[in-house]
Amino acid sequence: MPTLSPRGGWCGRPAQPAGEDRPSSRACRPWQRQPSIGDSVSGTAEPISPVSLTPTERGQPLRVTGFVTLLEALEWAATAATGVNFHDGRGRLDRSLTWGEVRDLARAAGQRLAAFRLPRGSQVGIIAETHADFPVAFFACRFAGLTPVPLPATVHLGGQRQYVDLLGRMLQNADARVCLGSAAFAPFLDTMPGADELLFHGSVDALLERDGADLPEPPSEDELAYIQYTSGSTRFPRGAMLTERSTLRNVYGIMNDGIYLHENDRFCSWLPLYHDMGLVGKLIVPMVSQASIDYLGTREFAMRPRLWLRLLSENRSTISFAPPFGYELTTRRLREGDAEGLDLSAWRVAGCGADMIRPETLERFAQAVAPAGFDPGALVPSYGMAEVSLAVSFTPPGNGMQADTIDLHGHRPPEPGQPAGRTTRFTRCGRPLPGYEVEVRDTDGSLMPERREGSIYLRTPSTMEGYYAAPEINAQVLQNGWLDTGDLGYMVDGDVVITGRRKDLMIVNGRNIWPQDIEHVAEQHPGVRTTDAAAFTVDAEDGSSLLVVLLQCREQDEEARTQMLRAIRRDIQAEFGVEARVQAVPPHSLPRTTSGKLSRSQARLDYLAEHAQQSS
């Protein structure tokens, strides 16, 4: 049977059952490293050779439109020399696959999936690890007429039990009958709830050992391309259903009107492939654009963020995105002299999105990497969400980050002569893509004027069909072709500005206060990092709202810690006129969503549970 080698490519040419695909003539490239165990046993393996990057040059004309389905795009990408490259925790190339090899392996794996005789469109869960198995498994589902459902691949501080329970619940919610994941995730798949009810769970290699069947008719543009689960910061994750047509409409907008794709572009990413920025922006977009991409695992990035910059420098990558915390973490970890040893002059699209973007975060990053030849004009703040596949708006590459200043408390244009300390800055996220409509509405549904904050609604050609198996929620968020995003923001000169999430808005003493503004005050103190604070409200004994700020504190001296907490309380009182309970918590204890965002709602629940336990 064909197998995926430990280094990610076809190795050996074992006999194929009748009617099943054979590897392409270039399937065993001389630079693939070691063979699979199965091939070693059969004696058909080729000599072990060093792995090499797939080239930046396609070796064929760039095609940026005209595909009806993802598999049509993959067939065209398969004729190029480009592909995917996976790097280990030290930045060394570990596996590489051309798009042709991805296509061949996916087709063969699709034949094995077809043998399960599942109804067309049935869901298949895939552990979205940054691993060669994932693109193969994702496109295998499409060859088999099935719907891939990427699942989180990160075990958080809650531990294995919580992660296994989450996997089981997500598979059950998606009605998945098969789950694929690399061999490293076998223990999780074996022990998750409902594992015995699945027809198959295991790795792509294990799947390829099974007998196959003929592939069904190719997908149509009206079929689901995938189900993307949102990060679920206040609820169990919901699965956004995206069709082939919607996905490609968004991808074409990204390529042609967002990042303005060039012939010599090369992608680089550490983003998780279960997040829309990773799945669409850093797998589907590179594939449709027939480009090479270099991957670093999310966990590896978090441990050594400078590896991201090193890969960009060494491979001359031109396009890479990250959420704000990625830029913040990288800036913090850069040591004196690090930037001088890098060359980031080729990086022309340094995208940022997935959360509210503070101008200071990008400004500090640009300053820190300036010695590496980084162009601040490459910063591309953007806005988007999984519910529209990925992207809504982009700052044009070359323009750089632009900020807008508004009144701190009213979130409206500042009054003439207003002191600088009473204003705040928000990042402009560029104009919407062509065909994408953005409205800012008041609570009564009326349209808000420029630079007046309201709820963001979207009407786009790539909006989801709805959340899977959630008709009541769909009726709330999808009305007359418009999507209620849950975001708050405003428009300025045609640009989208995001100010926060509607659910996060706090009301204290009758005033609207943003948690980000409170957290920003705390983070100005020495020793407090960005993302170290979480602000929310709870009910006080007298029925009023009590403002609580949890602070990840690294200060070991008790007296110094007490003085810092008092100073933060004073600053919040002076700036906002409200009392706050500021409490220190251990480092790394604030909860995060599966995409790495701060979960204020979970922090609030943890706080309430702790205080309830102390009171009992």
Top pLDDT among 47 and 421 is at: 421
CB atoms within 10 A of CB 503: 13
As a three-state string, the secondary structure of 118-166 is: CCCCCEEEEECCCCCHHHHHHHHHHHCCCEEEEECCCCCCCCHHHHHHH
Q: Quickly state the pLDDT bin for 293 (edges 50, 70, 90).
A: very high
Please check whether the domain covering 67-304 is classified as CATH 3.40.50.12780. yes
β pairing state of 545-552 and 580-585:
parallel
- DSSP string of 452-467? --EEEEEE-TT--SEE
Q: Quickly state the pLDDT bin for 459 (edges 50, 70, 90).
A: very high
pLDDT, one tens digit per residue, over 23-45 is 333 333 323 333 332 232 233 33
Both structure tokens of 20: 């099943």
Q: What is the pLDDT of residue 570?
A: 87
Please check whether the domain covering 505-615 is classified as CATH 1.20.1250.20. no
CA proximity to 49, closest of 37, 35, 32: 32
- Residue 450 C-alpha from the chain's centroid: 30
Q: What is the pLDDT of residue 157?
A: 44
CA proximity to 86, closest of 45, 153, 32, 23: 32
Largest CA distance in the chain: 80
Q: Tell me how far apart the alpha carbons of residues 487 and 499 are, in angstroms, rounded to a whole number.
A: 8
Q: Quickly state the pLDDT bin for 573 (edges 50, 70, 90).
A: confident
Asked whether residue 473 carries a pLDDT value surpassing 70, the answer given is yes
Task: Mean pLDDT check: name the lowest of 45-59, 127-141, 341-355, 444-458.
Answer: 45-59
Both structure tokens of 315: 């491979």
Q: 305-502: same fold as 67-304?
A: yes
Are 103 and 74 within 8 A, CB to CB?
yes
Distances (CA, A) of 481 to 294, 325, 591: 37, 33, 34
Asked whether residue 16 carries a pLDDT value surpassing 70, the answer given is no
Task: Mean pLDDT check: name the lowest of 128-137, 314-323, 401-410, 488-497.
Answer: 401-410
Q: Tell me how far apart the alpha carbons of residues 451 and 207 are, in angstroms, rounded to a whole number.
A: 54
Q: Domain 305-502 sits in which CATH superfamily?
A: ANL, N-terminal domain (3.40.50.12780)
Q: What number is the average pLDDT over the span 110-137?
A: 97
Q: What is the pLDDT of residue 415?
A: 64
CB atoms within 10 A of CB 121: 11
CA proximity to 99, closest of 243, 233, 293: 293
Instruction: Give the position of tokens 């869901």.
Output: 123
Q: Tell me how far apart the alpha carbons of residues 300 and 564 are, in angstroms, rounded to a whole number.
A: 33
- DSSP string of 548-584? EEEEE-----HHHHHHHHHHHHHHHHHHHS--EEEEE
Q: What is the pLDDT of residue 511?
A: 64
pLDDT, one tens digit per residue, over 307-336 is 999 999 999 999 999 999 899 999 999 999
Q: What number is the average pLDDT over the span 514-539?
A: 82
Q: What is the pLDDT of residue 365?
A: 97
Q: What is the pLDDT of residue 41?
A: 26
Q: What is the pLDDT of residue 139?
A: 98
Residue 514 is classified by DSSP as -
Residue 256 is classified by DSSP as I
Both structure tokens of 46: 């080729």
Q: What is the pLDDT of residue 543?
A: 65
Domain boundaries, the chain: 67-304, 305-502, 505-615
pLDDT, one tens digit per residue, over 212-253 is 999 999 999 999 999 999 865 445 789 999 999 999 999 999
Asked whether residue 5 carries a pLDDT value surpassing 70, the answer given is no
Q: What is the pLDDT of residue 47?
A: 36
- DSSP string of 433-448? PTT-EEEEE-TTSPBP
CB atoms within 10 A of CB 405: 14
Q: Tell me how far apart the alpha carbons of residues 577 and 567 are, in angstroms, rounded to a whole number.
A: 14
- Residue 427 C-alpha from the chain's centroid: 20
CA proximity to 271, closest of 325, 344, 234, 315: 325
Q: Tell me how far apart the alpha carbons of residues 293 and 286 are, in angstroms, rounded to a whole number.
A: 7
**Where on the phi/psi map is residue 259: left (φ > 0), alpha (ψ -120 to 50), or beta?**
alpha
Both structure tokens of 509: 């003493």
Q: What is the pLDDT of residue 67?
A: 97
Residue 180: which H helix or E strand, with range?
A: strand 178-180
Q: What is the pLDDT of residue 413?
A: 67
Q: What number is the average pLDDT over the span 575-604?
A: 80
Q: Where are the beta strands (DSSP E) in 367-462?
A: 379-384, 391-394, 403-407, 423-427, 431-432, 437-441, 454-459
Q: What number is the average pLDDT over the span 129-150?
A: 97
Residue 172: which H helix or E strand, with range?
A: helix 160-174
Q: What is the pLDDT of residue 523?
A: 83
Q: Quickly state the pLDDT bin for 616 (edges 50, 70, 90).
A: low
* Residue 478 backbone dihedrals phi, psi, to 5 degrees: -115, 110
Q: Quickly state the pLDDT bin for 411 (edges 50, 70, 90).
A: low
Q: Tell me how far apart the alpha carbons of residues 445 and 107 are, in angstroms, rounded to a whole number.
A: 49
For the chain, helix (H) and strand (E) counts, in that order, are: 18, 28
Q: What is the pLDDT of residue 58?
A: 95
Task: Mean pLDDT check: name the lowest of 190-199, 379-388, 455-464, 501-510.
Answer: 501-510
Top pLDDT among 62 and 19 is at: 62
